[in-house]
Amino acid sequence: MVGESDFLGIKLTGAGTRVTEALSRGDELPQQFTEAMDAIAQAASAKGNRIWIDAEQQVLQHSIDRVTIDLMRRYNTNGRALIYNTLQAYLKESRPKLVRQLKLSQEEGWTLAIKLVRGAYINNDIRERIHDTKEQTDDSYNGIVSDLLTGTVPGIAPNFPHMALFLAGHNAESIAKASNLVRNLAEQGRLKTIPEFGQLQGMADELGCRLLQFSEEMEHDGISSAGNPVAPKVYKCLTWGTIQDRPSSCTMSQRSSVKAPEPGCYVPAVTFFKPQTDELDLAAQAKYFAYLANTGLKGLVVLGTNAETFLLTREERKALLVTARAAVPKGFPIIAGVGGHSTRQVLEYIEDAREAGSDYVLLLPCAYFGKATTPAVVKAFFDQVAQASALPIVLYNFPAVCNGLDLDSDLIGEIARQNPKIVGVKLTCGSVAKIVRLAAMFKPDRFAVFGGQADFLLGGLAVGSAGCIAAFANAAPRSVAKVFELQKDGKQQEALALQKVLSLAESSTKPGIAAVKYAAAVVTAPRAGISNASRLLEPRRPYDAPTAAVKSRIERDLKDVARLEDGGQMNGGLTQARLYTHRNLTISESVYAASPRSERRRVANSKRAQHSSRRMSPNPKGSTPGLLPRNNSIDRSLHPTTSPQTSGAAQPPCASSPPADWSPQAERRAQDEEDPESGSHSPNYGEKDQVTYPEGGLEAWLVVLGSFLGMTASFGYMNTIGIYEAYLNTNQLSDYEQSTTGWVFSLYIFLSFFCGVQIGPIFDAKGPRLLVLSGSILLLLSIFLMGVCTVGWAWATRIQGFIFLGLLIGANLLIKSRLPPKPGGSVLPDFKIFRQPAFLLATIGTYFLEWGLFVPITYLVSYALQTGAMTEAFSFQLIAIFNAGSSLGRWAPGYLADKFGRYNTMIATTIGCMTSSLGLWLPAAVLTVQGDPSDSTIKSLTITYAVIMGFSSGSNISLTPVCVGMLCDTEEYGRYYATCYTIVSFGTLTGVPIAGAIISACGGAYWGVATWTGLCYVCALAAFCAVRVINAGWKLNVLY
């Protein structure tokens, strides 16, 4: 089917869950996959085919690039391009990535082959990494095309390397620009790369025809470039196989634009079992699915908790999903429950759901181990799943089945913001306040908030919910859907009247899943044409059907609902009510008829509203209704929880104890009209949605306070080295040259930077306590040892030590870890990356920055004392003035860099350091030698220098990590930064002694050291400008 010179497109995640997980983590890929790719490449090479490796989401793309580049190294040799990498022009990193790959191919001697597209994952990728406007994306695409056709990519040597280019796109303007440029350059003999063009089959066919005509005209006119004929080939991209197995490119493009589930009511369908064999009754199940899809409900949830998913095998789960997809109309949304105990298990379930044709998945947090499931574990779990998931995800918050784990709105919001594939949440925690907050955080088409029960559907809609995923929709699908429809149409009174009927009727199903299934058997299953429904809907063994008393109550309470489902009229609960047919419902002047029984329900609801469930931690005593005791054991974890308010996700056995809902006592409580719902998890409508550490609140601010105390004692101390330099050179070390004493301070700074690159891994493995404690001990030891002196500031130093003691006690008490230990390897430097000119120059620039930075910090006080223009007391205050400017300088880049560009801002602040050193400190130092020592000009120049140099150097320090990060992929940042500062730390080691030697060589004058500082910044400026030119060109208006 694929002929010579044709392309074969490969999407690496199509290889399955194991490969997707490895790509998301950056691990080595399975050997079987590597062997398969080699076999495909070799077969394609033998037949003269070529291979595209498709681009995917950003969380995977770094690994995909790594795999593709390795394949290009091995197969794109001798001037031939077999493997093509895909470049997405809508990403801000597209041009730097292209430059890196061109340089790599040029250095290593293989052919780079690129398929250029605009991009297809705008709703999955991190938005900040995508160009802000369509115009910027157009400029990016067109600019890359122009640079590759003309061979003028910034940073690439004049001998532009041979490469292959495929231009994929449906934008007529871009394709016209590219084709015209091809012709013009070819006629001038300047065409460096002959492109090929392509579109998806069935899309922009007129554009493909114009390109064919253009190619034929080029061939007819005999246009060539450097003696080679130029007639670009034109391709159409098609796929084959079934829609389910091989989604067409159009379908894949649609799925890449992930949106939240549509607003409405969804039903978590119950499961039918054959009573004799306990096997799935898929025939009855198909009828049931088909009926529900035609009741006005918006979608179907398969494998929810009410489906008894925790009692199903993996094969049975797959069978239910396949049955559902076949039974419901095309395009009817299916949400598959995929709850499990581990990331790997969940990803397997998601893959099954995708293969079965599901549209979304519903996912509980993994909470099997209760207390060990910290916020960090929860966030890591959802992040890992979202990165590797082939389907969009709706979170599921149901504390009663997750060891009391209740996700607060801040955590849910943070997880969703960082993972575009997470598009909604189902809240079966009873908190309307949580619905309000989450609805306020997101646009409805980005993130949908669903209530988890039908009895507060209308209340949720009033505050911004998208609808509900409600177990009671199994018993009253048309009525539940009708409440949503009435509210949407603005018929508030009618919606409220119907809501009250449903809320009263739903209370009879509260004892558990068995009660919900019996309600479905009484009302819905017969209307779906299913006979013997009460037997087919008995719970799976070993659990029992409801008692006769519970069944009797369900039958009694659902009589009115059954009439509503059939278009009949209500008796009792509503007066003066005209009820709906299947197509229309009007309820006018409806009045709720309170009865003694309904009043007792109201009181019971009021009592339940006083209960609360814990946020983000299991209930330690199991006292909250519906929650589980903590003395659970493994065998008890196999028992299901049975609240019918659950509804959407595949329920793993993470609720670790047999809940009271299924016990005979619970069923007897269900007969007691004083508190008919006491056997289930109780919603708390008035409860404040507490934010727990580390997401905010007092505990988080205390950690911030502890960090402030620690930083004051550590970096605050480092920034006073100029005071100690002046003190020691005046007293204890007065007999030594400054070039010698400089090593005391430079060694201190060097060790801070050189050893600092390994602090991160120690923190990951051990947490902060060990680091803070050991650092505190060493810092206090050094202070008090310095206080053992007979000349100078003995007691001043000791007093400072006691101040630091208080600060560090506070730091040790308040600083806590927000993450569990995560042992890992060291972040070791990798000097091979200095082959990249931009990174080499950035490291050189940073080296010169640090070489010059600590010179004024160390010697400014000594200089001021030497001038005689300032008092001794004021001279020592210069460090405080310098640090005040630095504080502002560290804050400013956060606002300026994104607006003007990170390297642009770095260059500007480096100019500030350079000009202040040469234009302020140097003249002041010269005046000190030549002028009046009391000259106020010297004082003014020195103070101004301290402010400007402090501000500019503070900005440099804030921007350095960002500028390094711009030269690498995010996943490689630790390696790049460690490599950079391993070298730069030697600048901090030698800078101060060199400056001291210069002072000595100048006879104690400081004009030489001021010149030295300025020249360091001149060199840093040159290096940073070179980085900018390499990656962004010479144009001054480029944001870089």
Note the Cα 12 to chain centre separation in Å. 21
Name 662's Cβ contacts closer than 8 Å, sequence gap at least 6: 512, 514, 543, 639, 640, 642
The catalytic position among 97, 379, 421, 426 is 426
H-run or E-run covering 867: helix 837-867
| 113 backbone dihedrals φ, ψ, rounded to 5° | -125, 125
DSSP conformational letter for 545: P
Task: Mark out the alpha helices in 374-527 (DSSP H runs).
Answer: 375-388, 409-418, 432-441, 457-462, 477-488, 492-506, 513-522, 524-527
Q: Is 631 exposed, middle or buried (0-12, 13-18, 19+ CB in 10 A)?
A: exposed
Name 881's Cβ contacts closer than 8 Å, sequence gap at least 6: 943, 946, 947, 950
What letter represents residue 107's amino acid? E
C-beta neighbour count of 541 within 10 angstroms: 10
SS3 content of the chain, % helix, strand, coil (to 5): 55, 10, 35
Q: Are 362 and 649 in contact (CB under 8 A)?
A: yes
Distance CA 874, CA 979 (A): 40
Task: Mark out the alpha helices in 48-117 (DSSP H runs).
Answer: 58-75, 94-108
Rounded to 10 degrees, the C-alpha dihedral 568/569/574/576 comes to: 140
Mark whether 426 is an active-site residue.
yes
Where residue 464 falls (left for φ over 0; alpha for ψ -120 to 50; beta otherwise) is left
What are the angstrom distances between the C-alpha of 852 and each of 408, 764, 801, 890, 1007? 48, 32, 29, 17, 14
What letter represents residue 734's amino acid? S
What is the SS3 assignment for 302? strand
Of the candidates 63, 50, 70, 176, the one whose C-alpha atom is nearest the C-alpha of residue 115 is: 50
Q: Are 928 and 1006 in contact (CB under 8 A)?
A: yes
Distance CA 164, CA 223 (A): 19
C-beta neighbour count of 37 within 10 angstroms: 22
Q: Are 421 and 674 in contact (CB under 8 A)?
A: no
Tell me the two tokens of residue 214. Answer: 């253009």
Tell me the two tokens of residue 167. Answer: 């231009």
Distance CA 616, CA 551 (A): 36
Distance CA 637, CA 626 (A): 15
C-beta neighbour count of 688 within 10 angstroms: 11
Buried b (16+ CB within 10 A) or exposed e, 373-386: bbbebbbebbbbbb
Of the candidates 475, 459, 467, 552, the one whose C-alpha atom is nearest the C-alpha of residue 513 is: 475
Distance CA 1020, CA 1040 (A): 17
Catalytic center residues: 426
